[in-house]
Chain A
Amino acid sequence: MSILNQFKPEFWQKSELSTGPFRQMFNFRRIWKISVLLTSLVTLLPLIFITSIDYNFTQKSIESENLLRTLRIGSNAKRSISFFLSERISALSFVVRTNDLQELSQPERLRTILTNLRDSFNGFVDLGVIDRNGVQINYVGPYPLEGRDYSKQEWFKEIPHKGFYISEVFLGFRNVPHLIIAAKYTLPDGSFYVLRAALDTTRFNELLRDFELSGRGDAFLINNEGIIQTPTLYHNPVFEKISYTIPAYSTHTEIREEKNKVGEDIIICSSYIPDSPYILIIVKEKDELMKSWRETRFQLIVFLIISISIILLAILGFSTYMVNSMYLLDQRRLSTLHQVEYSNKLASIGRLAAGVAHEINNPLAIINEKAGLIKDIFTYTDTCPQNSRIIELIDSVLASVERCGKITKRLLGFARHIDSAIENVRLDSIITEVLGFLNKEAEYRNITVNVDLADNIPEFQSDRGKLQQIFLNIINNAFSAMDVGGRLYILVRREGEGHVIATISDNGCGMSDTDLGKIFEPFYSTKTKTGGTGLGLSITYGLIQELGGTIHVASRLGEGTTFAITLPLQPPNKSAEK
C-alpha cells in the first residue's frame, strides 16, 4: 500500500473538504474520473469498433476463400477424372471402329492393340472382344477369360443403349482393385460387338493424390451407395461406406459444411463424375484451414491489447497530470485568498486595538493627572498634612496608570505597523516588542527567554509590520511546543555584508521528518485539535519571501526545533535596483 501511496497524486491523497472556510470549489477526484472515462470512451470505442469489424471481415473472407479454393480444386479434380475415363473410352471406341470383328478376333492382332494401348495410355490390364451374345470370343491378358459369358451381367444389358460402359471398382480374380470399361460397335446389320478392357486403379489413385490439399484434406471417389472406391488418407478403407451423407445428384460441384464423427467442423466438396458411377469427395478440416486465421486473430488481439494499454496509460498519465496541476493551482489560489483574509483580519484587529487604546488613553490621562494632583496637593501645599500612607496609595495608582499606559502604547505601536511599508527598523526593538506580548505567558509557564543580539547589527530598511508578524508567529509556535520550564534562545548575528540571521531555538516537543517536510504548506497543521489553521507558518514563509529573506528549519522529535531566518539589510526591490 505504501508503494501505491507514493504514486498517488496529491489531489487524491488529500481528503475532500466540502465544508468550512477552506473548502475546495472543485471535486478533483470526480473531475479526474470523468476525464479518464470520457477520454477513454472517445478513443477506445472507435478502436474497438474498427478492430471488431476488421476481425469479422477478415474471418469471413478467409472462410469464403477457403471454400472457394476447395470448390476450385473439386472442379478441377472432376474434370481430370472425367477426362481420364473418357480418354480411355475414346481409345477403345477408336480401336473398335478402326478394326473389324475379324481382325479383333485374331489373338495376335488383339495383343498388338493391347500393347499399343498400354504404351499410349496407362492402366490397361487386359482386352477382350465380346460378341452380341455376350460371349468373350477373344481375350488377351493375364487371366484365362476367353469364352466367358457376360450375357447375364447388368452392364452387358445396358451397353446396347449407352454405347459404352464404366464399372465401379472391384477386386476381381487377382484381388487387386480395378475397373472395367467397354465400348460397343454396331454393325450395319444391326448386330454389335463389344471391346472390353480392365483398368488398373493405381493411375487413378495417383491422380487423386496429386491434388494439393491443405487442411488435412482427403480426396477420394465413392459410388452412388457411398462405398469408398479409392484409398483415403484419413477415412475408412476401400469398399467400406463413408460416414457422411451421400450428396444429392447435381451436375455442378457442390460444397457444404458438416461435422465429423468427433464433432469437428469439416468442409465437404462433392461432384458427380459424368457418365460414371463415381462421386468425387474432397473432405477438409475447417480447423486446419483456419490455422492462418488463428495466427492473424492472435496478432489482431495482441495489437488491440497493446494499443488499449498504451492509450489507457497515456490517458491516465495525462489526466492525472492535468488534474493535479489544477489542484495545485487551486491550492495556491486558496492559500493566497486566505493570506489576504488573514492579513485583513490582522489589520482589523490592529485598528480595533488602536481605537480601544486611544479611547482608554484619554481617561487614563485624566486618572493620571488627578492622582498626580492629589499627590501634588499633599506634597506642594500645606492644605493637607503629609500622610505617607496616602502618598504610597497614590504612587501605586500612578504606577498602575503607567503600566496601563505601556500596554496601550505597545498596542498602538503594534497596530501602527499593520499596513506599514519599508522604514528603518531595529531587530532588537522588534524582538523586544514581540516578547512584550508574551511576557506574561512566559512568566506563568516559567519559560526562560534568552536573547543574544550581536553588537554589529545595524538599523536596516525593512517592513516593521511584517517582521513583527514573522517573529510573533515563530515565537508563538515555540511557546506552544514547549512545556513548563522550557527554554527559548533567540540569537541574532550578522551574515556576511548584506544579511542578518536570526535563530530561534526551543527545547519543545520537536517534529517528525514527515511534519518537517510539510510545515510550510498551507493548511498543514499539527495543532488542528487545538484550533490551529495551518496557515501561520505558510504566511510566515510568504512574508519572509516578500522581504527577500529565507527560512530554514531543523527539528528532532522530543528535542526541539530551530528556525533560522535570514534577512537582507536592503529591501528586495532596492537590492534589485542596485
Chain B
Amino acid sequence: MHVLLVDDEKEFVTTLAERLSLRRFHVDFAIRALDALSLAEKNVYDLAILDMKMPGTSGLELKELLEKIQTDMKFIFLTGHGSEADYVAGSSESACYLVKPVNIDTLIAKMHEAVKP
C-alpha cells in the first residue's frame, strides 16, 4: 500500500513513517502541505494520513487539493484536538477520524478498511 503521511510534527511523522515502513508499507511523508502536493503530483498514493491542524493549510483543505490531483485517494485524519466542527466534517466524508495518540494496530486496521474496495 502506498501511503502519504502529512503532519507538521516532524518527530511524529518521521517515526510513524519508519514504523509503517517496517510493516512493509510504502510511506512518503511531508511536514508541509506544499511538499505533500508536490509528492502527490509525482507519485500515486492509495491513502493519505493527514493531520487536521497544520500551519497554513488545514487537513480538510489539503484533502480537497489532493483529491483534485488523485480522485480515488482515501483519507485518514489524525488530530490532537476534538472540536465539534472537525469531527462532523471529518466523519461526514468517506474519511476516518482518529485522535492522537493512536495505537499502531488500530491505525493499520483503519488503513486497510479505508482502501477496501
Contact = CB atoms under 8 A, between A and B. Distances in A.
Contacts of A381: 22
Given A354-B82, A381-B22, A412-B81, A369 B15 contact: yes
B84 interface: yes
B19 A358 contact: no
Contact of A366 (B9, B19, B81, B103): B9
26 contacts: A354-B82, A354-B83, A357-B80, A357-B82, A359-B80, A361-B99, A362-B12, A362-B80, A364-B101, A365-B101, A366-B9, A367-B101, A368-B102, A369-B11, A369-B19, A369-B101, A370-B11, A372-B15, A372-B104, A373-B18, A376-B18, A380-B22, A402-B103, A412-B82, A413-B82, A416-B84
A409 B16 CA distance: 21
Contacts of B101: 361, 364-365, 367-369, 401-402, 404-405
B100 interface: yes
Q: How large is the interface on A (under 10, 10 to 19, 20 to 34, 35 or more residues)?
A: 20 to 34
Contacts of A358: 80-82
Contacts of A420: 84
B22 A354 contact: no
Nearest to A380: B22
Interface of B: 9, 11-12, 15-16, 18-19, 22-23, 78, 80-84, 87, 99-104
Contacts of A372: 15, 19, 104
B76 to A, nearest CB: 14
B11 A361 contact: no
A409 B15 contact: no
| B interface: dominant SS | mixed
Given A365-B101, A412-B99, 15 more contacts: A354-B81, A354-B82, A354-B83, A361-B99, A362-B100, A364-B100, A365-B80, A369-B16, A370-B11, A372-B19, A376-B18, A376-B19, A380-B22, A404-B101, A409-B82
Nearest to B99: A409
Contacts of B12: 362, 365-366, 369
A401 B23 CA distance: 21
B82 A365 contact: no
B92 to A, nearest CB: 14
Contacts of B80: 357-362, 365
Nearest to A365: B100
Contacts of A377: 22
Contacts of B19: 369, 372-373, 376
Interface string A58-94: 0000000000000000000000000000000000000
A366 B15 contact: yes
A509 B87 CA distance: 43
Contacts of B99: 361, 405, 409, 412
Interface in A276-299: none
A416 B104 CA distance: 25
A482 B81 CA distance: 36
- Residue from A360, A369, A412 whose CB has the most chain B CB atoms within 10 Å: A369
